[in-house]
Structure 1
Amino acid sequence: MTINYAQARENMVEQQIRPWDVLDNRVLETLATLPRETFVPPAYSALAYADIELPLSHDQRMMKPVIEGRTLQALDVQEGEDVLEIGTGSGFMTACLATLGREVVSLELHPDLAATAQANLDTAGLGSNVRIETADALTWTSDRQFDVVCVTAAVDTLPASFLRWLRPGGRLFVVRGRSPVMEAVLIHNETTGPRVESLFETDLPYLTGASPVATFVF
């Protein structure tokens, strides 16, 4: 069976993403044009536009399209802005952020995921303004600051270093808390300090090394 990906993409936008209050035209246009099927593991290509998470290696997952849409809308990436992505995964969110912004630096812990994401970007003819670094975000050091930081996996508590990479006036998206009920938040780096805006509830896999510390009950 041949899948009409263009039709599936349109259905995803109109039946999943727009009804979940994603109304930003630039975000909708990005999701309506980028070939998500190129970034999905081949075994799941038929599900590229389904309303489900899709498994990647190392117990990571591609977010549902609706979560991707809400994330992009909340971050409101502008054409001249630089983006730090923590967790490259398949490279699809990387491609979205790169389409909306000026440059994306994306950190991926696992070399095989980083290589696959780069190959996906190349296949799609995207990513000329993307640099993928194989690095652990929890130990990565950089003096550079970004307008936008997008964390694509959950954390129990947000590492302080993630906020240090944010320029004054910048925005950071992260999902934090304990499974199965986590909170997606947008943190605004204001002159008076960080301001946290609650967005929605969801449940994502943890960033490696950022899961809750096990507590023992006697």
Structure 2
Amino acid sequence: MSSDFAAARLNMVESQIRTADVTDLPLQDALRVVPRENLVPAGKGYLAYADAEVEYAPGRALMRPRDIGKLLQIIKPRAGEKALAIAAPYAAVVLETMGLAVTRLDGDDLAAVPGGEYDVIVCEGGVPKAPGAWTAALALHGRLGVVERQGPVGRATLYVRAEDGVGARAVFDSTPSLLAGFPVEAGFAF
């Protein structure tokens, strides 16, 4: 079965990742070797490489391969950097494979960030708005990749810490499930 997963992994990179303009070669190399099937519940390995979210725990899901590939590319991870993976087990393994030192946060209070300044922070679930604790945990020139979602479609957003503060820009549309504990506030929009 492992050769079937290896073929599925290669197909995922070739048909879902590269076709979505994910051109970073070290990232592609890591995506080709990280076994997504090991991160989903027993008996669900066949879903690991589908073009869909895959639930790995109640209320938590791995992002679609295309979206996590694009999100990781926009944060430009590099070997030797310090990373924080928030509700992001697949991204954590990919970043470790790329040579980053990764801290994992996947408990009940995802807004509370463990101490330290991070070069890279990534979250595989959607949130209405990135919590201030996440952007505050960025080192100088640190990058946060997260999907902010208040309606049916979210926007993958890149936050970057500079000398004069933190800036943000929306990069692409994405529809990950919202993480529990991050409710969307009801409001009126035109």
Superposed pair shares fold, TM > 0.5? yes
Amino acid at match of 1:180: P
Q: For residue 150 of structure 1, what is the aligned residue in structure 2?
A: 122
Structure 1: gaps spanning 5 or more residues: 111-135
TM-score between both structures, scaled by the size of structure 1:
0.79
Kept after mapping to 2: 8 A contact 1:77/1:101: no
Contact 1:187 1:196 in 2 (8 A): yes
SS in 2 for 1:43: coil
Which residue of 1 is the match for residue 161 of structure 2?
189
| 1:30-82 deviation digits (Å, cap 9, x = unpaired) | 11111122222222211221111112332221111111111111111111100
Question: Equivalent residue of 2:9, what SS?
Answer: helix
Please tell me the residue identity of whatever aligns with 1:5.
F
Shift in CA distance, 2/149, structure 1 to aligned 2, threshold 3 Å? closer
Structure 2: distance between partners of 1:15 and 1:138: 34
**Structure 1 consecutive aligned stretches of length 4 or more whose deviation exceeds 3 Å:** none
2:43 corresponds to 1:43: yes
Partner deviation per Cα, 1:134-188 (whole Å, 9 max, x = no partner): xx1224452x111111122111122111111000111011111313111101111
CA distance in 1, matches of 2:55, 2:127: 19
Question: Could you tell me the percent identity over the aligned residues?
Answer: 32
Structure 1 SS opposite 2:44: helix
Give the equivalent residue in structure 2 for 1:10: 10
1:200 aligns with 2:172: yes
Contact 2:82-2:100 at 8 Å conserved across structures: yes
Are the aligned partners of 1:71 and 1:173 in contact in 2 as well (CA < 8 Å)?
yes
Counterpart contact for 1:3–1:46, Cα < 8 Å: no
Aligned residue identity for 1:62: L
Change (3 A) 1:215 1:195: closer
CA distance in 2, matches of 1:150, 1:179: 21
Q: How many pairs are equivalent? A: 188
In structure 1, what residue type is equivalent to 2:36? Answer: R
RMSD: 2.0
Unaligned runs of 5+ in 2: none
Residue matched to 2:103: 105
Contact 2:129 2:148 in 1 (8 A): yes
1-structure distance, mates of 2:84, 2:5: 29
The corresponding residue for 1:75 is 75
Q: SS in structure 2 opposite 1:17? A: helix
Q: TM-score, normalised by structure 2?
A: 0.90
Cα distance in 2 for residues equivalent to 1:139 and 1:93: 19
